[in-house]
A and B are shown apart, each in its own frame.
Chain A
Amino acid sequence: MGFYISFGTVLLLLAITAPLALLFGFGGAMAARSHFPPLSWIGRGYIAIVRGVPDIAFFLFFVIALDQGFEWARHKVLCPEWTDPIRQGNDFVVCAAAKMPLSSSPQWMHETYGFSLAVLTFSIVFGAFAANVLNGAMGAVPRAQVETAEAYGMSHRQTFWRITVPQMWVYALPGLSNLWMVLIKSTPLLFLLGVEDIVYWARELGGFKTARFTAYPHPDWRMWYFLALLVFYLGFTRVSEIVLTRLTNKLSHGQATTGGEAQRRAEA
């Protein structure tokens, strides 16, 4: 049963992470293009660091780092009278009230907390990639459009929101669709973050079972379980590919790009 639910987990992760990463990306791109230097340094730094390092290292890093960050913040607020250092040798000690989630809370709280940490981690990492794509797309909006807006006396902010943002999506779409494919293909990494996802269940259920532990003894079937996962992902990416191609066709309709021009020619 858990095996089938875990497919839902993957889809849920995708459904939450995609918009959240887009939001992070938008914020990052805005920061990177800002005219206020410290903000633009933060934006650029965020994009540069996350892209330069293996993503798996980031996943492993952020889960612990975020967890400790939350607990540290709660520790500071909830138990100000605590004087012992938090890092005692190889241990990370916070007071009982600051534990996330509280050790008395039920099992599903722990699972939800682990899942939301995973979502946040995915969003931070993919937000940086999205920021890069959106930054490029904002730069790709024809200069003449921005100049016209300036000629009409729009402020910098107005130009950005009314001219650049509505027009950049066509330019961002190829990059974003690539990102979506990558996001799909990175969902098995949930396993490394300690969420009971499809990889976990495939290992559990497929493993060697003797009659002593279960009513359905079977030899090692993990190979077949992973073959099923392989097929699942292949199907998923194929469907996404088809949908995204259609979307691109639709969006480039009537645009002053090569794609739009080709469509116009084909119709004429």
Chain B
Amino acid sequence: MLRTLFTPRWLTLLGVVAAVCLSFVWLGLWQLSVAQHDAVEKLQEQRDALVEKPLTEVLAPHAPFPADGAGHPVVTRGQYDGARQFLVPDRVLEGRPGYWVVTPLLVDEGQAVIPVLRGFVDDPGEAGVPPAEPVTVRGELAPGESPYFGEAVLPEGQRGTIDLSVLANEWPEDLYNGFLFSTAEEPRLTADTVAPVPPPQLTAGEVDWRNLGYALQWWVFAAFAVFMYLKLLHDAARERSGSPPTVSSTTAPADERIEPHHV
């Protein structure tokens, strides 16, 4: 087979097959990126269509977090309870490690509570505690985080994650099933040392399955080209070495003898 391969004809063909495969693999990757791009764009469109609403219109205390709730802009009015503020360690903002500052906001005349992510600090000492005065908070809704499974025992005033099931047990008010990425406060109660945390960016988590299928198809075609080349090369090599040619011409006459001519 190697002797056949090292002839100009088969080397040229090998080059062609390699080029075809490379472009097909690339086309598949391109298709995949289109898939992700489309998915992000679709989400972005859905999100842009959202108008800021009062918190209570999007979510009620104890109610399950709505499917389209993540990133929904909301506005609410209440009072921070600085005594129950906590920090979430091991968070990153623009590449620097630090802490999220989360403060419960008492809303609905103190009947209900929603955790508000006020911002990010490098050092726990910079968090500060906002005064308990009426404040209007605007932000984007987010579902609660997973429970904290870390080994470390965290210092007083820190929690591993914003785990709403834990908060629901500790806080006596009716808890909203979500938290707020604060984007604005009126009046501004949060200190300048607390850097705002931008609401999560859209990531291409869910890929359009259809485009994923197209990508796979390109790769299958590439594999098929390789298979074709190998098969043809194999046949050519056998012919060259003088051994009988492949399957059909040796087996076909046998079963055609049984089958009469019917054309």
* Binding partners A and B: no
